Structures are given as structure tokens and as C-alpha cells.
């Protein structure tokens, strides 16, 4: 039993380290205390940072957390205020096991007034084998903001996303001139990219690009829910209009191209003596939201390009749907490279939108909201970026603001993370004709309380040589049933060493914690035992026995009348480990 407790302690230590930050101040305080009052026992809490950004990186094709490292470059207005979860500052951070946690330095930001003065940052995400991703983030609450970033794996693209890569797309002479007209088609010829002979290629500084040109072409099918959901940054955007004014608008795409060309280490940015011809055939069932009818010959659609530096969409021109060889076609000659998008734009309402009020067991639910119709799918992307996991205990009423006008939306409510299989909703689906309507919809949340217990933790950490100084930490970790852990997770927190974790009896759970680039997992299971006791089985996966089998700790705990299980851990750490927490 002693050995298994040590392993249990080591895992909990990893969870402690996962959210211990700004260590220098604690070290100084402890040294002062230890030198002046060795005979008195002091309890000290680690720093607690309420304003955080929790990012989850998921494979856009299957919604699973990616195991590859995602590198996140942070820029923008308040980039210098963002720190890692161990209190270090950098301009770029790496994910661990598909997640990244950043904190807002409260000494640099007035976190009490975030509603009127939000934190504004920009994230540029890169990962080997995935398409790049860019998004702007606004932190408006003094709490944890959850952000899910769907990354498209080039070898496993979602349905409706077509990717073509060609290492010998075109040949260019020393003057930057394309030697022969070159064409690349995707989706059985439905989309086409062509560079005419004689076109001159240049980088963004105006330097000639020559040699063998490699290409990457990405197309997002407007009739595919999966493709529209995977569009980086969603279709709710900051736009520069034809009159050069700026406005927040919502796009309904008729087809999006991402074209990248490079040669000899230089990225092609612009063209002279011509440009790139892009075209797409339109599905005759594609709905024109301006008319409410399927798209037809003569419909006018705006063309936009994305400024990759600012993330802003810039109006380029109006294009008209043509009939070519019996097919509805949009085509254009573009003079610079970017992400190009044919879109219908709509304005958004800033106040007075739909409200969803959660009642019932709202303090127990983690909820994910989905939309299931094509017209609102871009809202799904927008909504997920802001409210991927909602906690009705904090947000009993969700107010929709800054969303498109006159947009019919169908919402579906599902439990998330640890509550999968344990929560039901009534109604589980609602439909509204206009997301900007001022109506309030009530949703009742009901928890299956049978076979559910609440584990009440009380955690104290001391050093082996100085047990009179104890830390009651503020930490966090993630958990979920094993069956759903790789697609959805919930967070639990200890504040001043105390916290609660709601678990269902007879279910295998996975716990996870990270500290910098280190991480650890453990399995936890609770089962009914005799005479009001609960059997707790804990299996950390970072340790194994000499024969390769897993360590496993089994203890019996009394269940209280209110269905809680009090668990108290008092860990003595080696001095070197304890000091590393300071």
C-alpha cells in the first residue's frame, strides 16, 4: 500500500505542477516565513489566475484531439499580457496532447473591466502535416475562455475539403516569367487554377521568383457542412468594404480557394503581366441567401480576399454566375495570392438577440451546442469559437450578440466531457427563424443522479524537512469517461487545496494534467462496495511494475449521507520537489 500511495502522490504532484505559476513570489515569501517562524505551521496557497485561455486542437475530420505538436504564435494588441501556464512569457507556445493553456497577467490588464476593455490577441497556428490556421480572440470575462481550433490534416481532410499539392506545378525563368500555361484541377475538374504563360511571379517585397514552382491548392465546398465548419476563423469576420470602411459581417460562401505558390524558398505573393485564373462549378442546389432560391445564371456574388497579416477580409469585386458548357460557373483572374472567397454578406445584430435560458440541474451540466443545417453551419463555427463548452451554473442565460440577421438556425444540445450519458435536455433541439430575434427559449437540464457520487478533495503538500510550511494549491486538471476522453474533456479545479469531482459509479474515467511540456494520465474508477463504502481504483499510466504491468491502488472510502466521498491527501515532498513548486 505504501508503494501505491507514493505513485498516487506522484501523479497528484504532476497535477499540482500543471497549474502552478509565477513561482518567484512564493519562493521569497516562503524563505522569509521559514527563517522567522520555524515552529509555527503556515498554510499558503499557490497563485490563482482567473482569466485564462484554454485552447483545444482537434482534427477537423474526426473531432479527436491531435497528438502532433501545434505551434501557436501570439500577436496583436495584448500579446505581451499572455503567459504560459507555468508563468513564462514567449511569442510562441506549443501544445501538449492537443491542448494549450495561457493566462492573462492581471498586473498588465484590468480584468475587472474586460466586458468593456477586452483582451485582444491574434493566434497563428502551425503544425507539421496540417493546414495553417489564423484567428482573432477576444477575452471578455474574468474566467476561463474555451477555444476549439479545428486543424485540417492534409492526409485526412474533412468531407468537402479538397487539397492538391504539386511539387512541379510550373517552370519559371530567371526573369520570373512562366514558361508554359499550367493548369491544376481538383474535385474531378470542378475547380481549376491556371497560370498563363508569360505571367511574372514576385514575392511580397517585389522580388522575382524563379525556378520550379510548388503549389498547394485548398478548396472548401459550400454545400458541405464539414467543409464550412473547417474554414479557419469561421465566416463571421472583420471586413473592409468597397468604400474602404470596416464592418463586422457574416459570410455565406459560394466557394473558397486557398492558393499557395513557392519556388527556391520564396513565397509568391503577386503577379505582373497577367495573374492566376481560378474557377469553380456551382452545385445547382446551392441556395442564394439573398433570394432564398437556388443559385442561377446572372446572380451577382461578391469576391473577397483575406489579408493574411491582419486576418481582415477585403472586398475585391462583384462577379456574375455564368453558364459554361451547361454548368453554373464562377471564375476570376486574381493579381495577388491569398485565400479567395465568393460570398454573400449579411449584417449582424449587436444587441437584443436570441436568449437560451437553462433551468433545472444547471449547476451540474457541461453542454455543447451544435447546429445541423447548412445555412447556420457558419454560426456553428462562430459559436464554437466562443462557447464550445458552456457551464450553465455561470451562464444560466446565453445571449446571442454580434450574429447574422434573418438567419434560421436549428440548435442541438448534447452533454460534454464528464457528463456524457448522464445529462438530458428538454427540448434537446430548438429551431428559430432569426438568430437576432429577442425571444427567450427555455431548456430544462436533467441529471441522472442514480449511481453518482461527488468526491470532495482536501489536498495539503509539505516538504520533508519543513513540515511546518504547507501549500494548499490552486490547480486544475482534465477528466472524462475513457470512452469520450479523446474527443471531449471537462476541467476540475482545486482552490486552496479543496475541490469536488462528480463521477458516475461503475464508469472508467481518465484524468490528465500537464506542466509545461510534461504531462501525465491516470485511470480512476468508483464502484459500490458493502456497508456504504465505495471502492476507489486508481491506475496511473506513467508508472509500471518491473514485469511491465500497471500499478493499481484500491482503497475503500465511506460514502456520506449526501452522496459525497471525503478524500484527504497530505503529501510530504522531497525538498527539491517542494522547492520546485515555489
Give the closest residue to 147 by CA, choosing from 109, 99, 83, 103: 99
Higher local confidence (pLDDT), 242 or 419: 242
- Percentage of the chain modeled with pLDDT above 70: 77
Q: Quick one: pLDDT band at residue 390, thresholds 50, 70, 90? A: very low
Residue 35, pLDDT > 60, answer no
- The length of the chain in residues reads 582
| The pLDDT value given to residue 338 | 87
Count CB atoms within 10 A of the CB of residue 6.
Answer: 13
Higher-pLDDT residue of 284, 39: 284
For residue 441, the surrounding DSSP H or E stretch is: strand 440-447
Give the per-residue pLDDT at 254: 93
SS (H, E, C) 116-152: CCCEEEEEEEECCCECCEEEEEEECCCCEEEEEEEEC
Tens-place pLDDT, residues 10-29: 445 445 444 333 333 444 54
Q: Global pTM? A: 0.72
The answer to whether the bond into 442 is cis (omega within 30° of 0) is no
The pLDDT value given to residue 531: 73
Residue 371 banded pLDDT, cuts 50, 70, 90: low
Residue 379: pLDDT over 80: no
pLDDT at 44 over 70: no
Cβ burial, residue 278 (10 Å; 0-12/13-18/19+): buried
What is residue 373's predicted lDDT score, i.e. its pLDDT? Answer: 39
Grid cell of 304 as nine digits: 473577397
In this structure, the number of other CB atoms found within 10 A of the CB of residue 499 comes to 18
The three-state DSSP-derived secondary structure of 454-519 is EEEEEEEEEECCEEEEEECCCEEEEEEEHHHCCCCCEEEEEECCEEEEEEECCCEEEEEEEECCEE
- H or E segment and range at residue 557: strand 553-558
Domain ranges across the chain: 2-49+451-580, 161-348
In the predicted structure, residue 316 carries a pLDDT above the cut 60:
yes
Q: Taking the CA atoms of the chain, what radius of gyration do you get in angstroms?
A: 27
* Angle (nearest 5°) at CA 20 between 15 and 26: 140
Dihedral of CA 484/487/488/494: which sign?
positive
Q: Report whether CATH 2.60.220 matches the domain 161-348.
A: yes
Query: What digits encode the pLDDT tens for the residues 160-193?
Result: 999 999 999 999 999 999 999 999 999 888 999 9
Q: What is the pLDDT of residues 471-490, one digit of tens each?
A: 777 666 788 888 888 777 77
Q: Which cell goes with 296?
A: 442561377
Query: What is the DSSP code string of 301-337?
Result: EEEEEE-TTT--EEEEEEEE-EEETTEEEEEEEESB-
Write the CA distances from 441 to 38, 359, 411, integer angstroms: 59, 11, 11
Strand, coil or helix: what is 391? coil
Residues 454-461, mean pLDDT to the nearest whole number: 81
Whole-number Å distance between alpha carbons of 93 and 115: 26
Amino acid at each position: 500500500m505504501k508503494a501505491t500511495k507514493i505513485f498516487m502522490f506522484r501523479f497528484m504532484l504532476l497535477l499540482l505542477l500543471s497549474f502552478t505559476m509565477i513561482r518567484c513570489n512564493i519562493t521569497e515569501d516562503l524563505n522569509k516565513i521559514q527563517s522567522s517562524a520555524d515552529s509555527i505551521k503556515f498554510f499558503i496557497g499557490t497563485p490563482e489566475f482567473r482569466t485564462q485561455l484554454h485552447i483545444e486542437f482537434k482534427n477537423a475530420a474526426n473531432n479527436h484531439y491531435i497528438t502532433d505538436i501545434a505551434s501557436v504564435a501570439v500577436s496583436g494588441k495584448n500579446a505581451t499580457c499572455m503567459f504560459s501556464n507555468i508563468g513564462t512569457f514567449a511569442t510562441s507556445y506549443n501544445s501538449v496532447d492537443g491542448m494549450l493553456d495561457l493566462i492573462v497577467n492581471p498586473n498588465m490588464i484590468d480584468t475587472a473591466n474586460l466586458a468593456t476593455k477586452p483582451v485582444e490577441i491574434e493566434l497563428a497556428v502551425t503544425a507539421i502535416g496540417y493546414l495553417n490556421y489564423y484567428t482573432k480572440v477576444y477575452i471578455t470575462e474574468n474566467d476561463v475562455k474555451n477555444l476549439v481550433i479545428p486543424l485540417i490534416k492534409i492526409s485526412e481532410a474533412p468531407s468537402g475539403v479538397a487539397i492538391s499539392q504539386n511539387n512541379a506545378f510550373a517552370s519559371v525563368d530567371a526573369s520570373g516569367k512562366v514558361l508554359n500555361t499550367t493548369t491544376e484541377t481538383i474535385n474531378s475538374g470542378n475547380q481549376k487554377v491556371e497560370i498563363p504563360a508569360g505571367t511574372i511571379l514576385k514575392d511580397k517585397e517585389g522580388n522575382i521568383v524563379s525556378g520550379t514552382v510548388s503549389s498547394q491548392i485548398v478548396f472548401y465546398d459550400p454545400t458541405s457542412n464539414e467543409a464550412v465548419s473547417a474554414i479557419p476563423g469561421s465566416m463571421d469576420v472583420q471586413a473592409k468594404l468597397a468604400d474602404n470602411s470596416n464592418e463586422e459581417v457574416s459570410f455565406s460562401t459560394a466557394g473558397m480557394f486557398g492558393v499557395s505558390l513557392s519556388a527556391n524558398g520564396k513565397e509568391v505573393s503577386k503577379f505582373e503581366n497577367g495573374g492566376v485564373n481560378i474557377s469553380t462549378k456551382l452545385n445547382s442546389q446551392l441556395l442564394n441567401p439573398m433570394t432564398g432560391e437556388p443559385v442561377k445564371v446572372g446572380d451577382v456574388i461578391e469576391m473577397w480576399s483575406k489579408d493574411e497579416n491582419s486576418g481582415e477580409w477585403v472586398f475585391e469585386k462583384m462577379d456574375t454566375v455564368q453558364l459554361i458548357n451547361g454548368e453554373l460557373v464562377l471564375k476570376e483572374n486574381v493579381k495577388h495570392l491569398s485565400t479567395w472567397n465568393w460570398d454573400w454578406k449579411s449584417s449582424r445584430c449587436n444587441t437584443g438577440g436570441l436568449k437560451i435560458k437553462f433551468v433545472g440541474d444547471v449547476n451540474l451540466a457541461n453542454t455543447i451546442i451544435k447546429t445541423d443545417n447548412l445555412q447556420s453551419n457558419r454560426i456553428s463555427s462562430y459559436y464554437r469559437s466562443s462557447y464550445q463548452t458552456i457551464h450553465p451554473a455561470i451562464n444560466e442565460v446565453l445571449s446571442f450578440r454580434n450574429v447574422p440577421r434573418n438567419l434560421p438556425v436549428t440548435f442541438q444540445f448534447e452533454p460534454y466531457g464528464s457528463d456524457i450519458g448522464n445529462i438530458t435536455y428538454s427540448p434537446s433541439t430548438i429551431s428559430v427563424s432569426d438568430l437576432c430575434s429577442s425571444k427567450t427559449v427555455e431548456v430544462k437540464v436533467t441529471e441522472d443522479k442514480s449511481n453518482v457520487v461527488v468526491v470532495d478533495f482536501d489536498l495539503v503538500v509539505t516538504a520533508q524537512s519543513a513540515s511546518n510550511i504547507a501549500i494548499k494549491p490552486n490547480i486544475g486538471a482534465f477528466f472524462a469517461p475513457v470512452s469520450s476522453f479523446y474527443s471531449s474533456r471537462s476541467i476540475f479545479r482545486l482552490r486552496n487545496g479543496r475541490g469536488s469531482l462528480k463521477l458516475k459509479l461503475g464508469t472508467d474515467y481518465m484524468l490528465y494534467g500537464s506542466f509545461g511540456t510534461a504531462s501525465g494520465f491516470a485511470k480512476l474508477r468508483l464502484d459500490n462496495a458493502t456497508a456504504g463504502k465505495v471502492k476507489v481504483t486508481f491506475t496511473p499510466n506513467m508508472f509500471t511494475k518491473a514485469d511491465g504491468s500497471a500499478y493499481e491502488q484500491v482503497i475503500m472510502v465511506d460514502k456520506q449521507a449526501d452522496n459525497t466521498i471525503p478524500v484527504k491527501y497530505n503529501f510530504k515532498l522531497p525538498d527539491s520537489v517542494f522547492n520546485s513548486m515555489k
